[in-house]
Amino acid sequence: MKQILNILPMFIFFIFYNFYDIFVASGALIVTSGLICVLHWFIYNEVDKIGLFSFFIIFFFGSLTIFFHNSQFIKWKITIIYIIFSIILLISQFLTKKPMIQRFLEKDIKISNIYWRRINFFWSLFFLFCGILNIYIAFYFSETTWVNFKVFGFTSLTFFLILVTGIYINCKISKDK
């Protein structure tokens, strides 16, 4: 359920973009992201920190897009989020005992710390790559291509990395036994 809540704003953005334009879609994205934060709080009785962070970034860049009637602002949103995620993962990689990925998943998955560090570093590189890729697609391709890639390309890349990470973890669990 949480995963559906997290990807719903992106699909609402896509639907509104295809029926209207990027400005109406940006407004729909802001509203949907805010509603998802409230809904998450009602369902789980907790604040989703990543969702709330995303909402503030979406609100900021979406509002600038609508106010200035300039789609360049919303195109930067995903890059900013990905770069911040990459930096957070890198900071946890080198300045804390446990990398961020391990903190999220160690209750359910038991593998050696070295493997968590590798996974964390790889995800950090992935977010950095996606941030750079977003800039390239946003500014060298059409807006429609960017929207389609934002929704389907990044989603596919993320699912692929989840699959690769799962296979890697499975191999390391087998080795640790």
- Taking the model in full, what pTM does it have? 0.85
> Could you tell me if 169 and 89 lie in one domain?
yes
pLDDT per residue rounded down to tens, the chain (177 residues): 566 777 888 999 999 999 999 999 999 999 999 999 998 888 888 888 888 888 999 999 999 999 999 999 999 999 999 999 999 999 998 988 889 888 888 788 888 888 989 999 999 999 999 999 999 999 999 999 999 999 999 999 999 999 999 898 888 776 655
Q: How many domains does the chain have?
A: 2
Domain that holds residue 100: 78-177
Picking from 15, 40, 70, the residue at the C-terminal end of a domain is 70
Helix then strand count (H, E) for the chain reads 8, 0
Q: Is the distance from CB of 157 to CB of 145 less than 8 angstroms?
A: no
Listed residue (42, 69, 51, 70) closest to 8, CA to CA: 51
If you count them, how many residues does the chain have? 177
Listed residue (91, 74, 83, 96) closest to 22, CA to CA: 74
Picking from 28, 50, 70, the residue at the C-terminal end of a domain is 70
> Could you tell me if 94 and 55 lie in one domain?
no
In 12-123, which ranges are E strands? none
> Could you tell me if 63 and 95 lie in one domain?
no
Instruction: Return the number of other C-beta atoms located less than 10 Å from residue 33's C-beta.
Output: 24
> Could you tell me if 108 and 48 lie in one domain?
no
> Could you tell me if 6 and 31 lie in one domain?
yes
Tokens in use for 175?
């080795």
> Could you tell me if 116 and 175 lie in one domain?
yes
> Could you tell me if 63 and 131 lie in one domain?
no
How far is 83 from 43, CA to CA, in rounded Å? Answer: 30
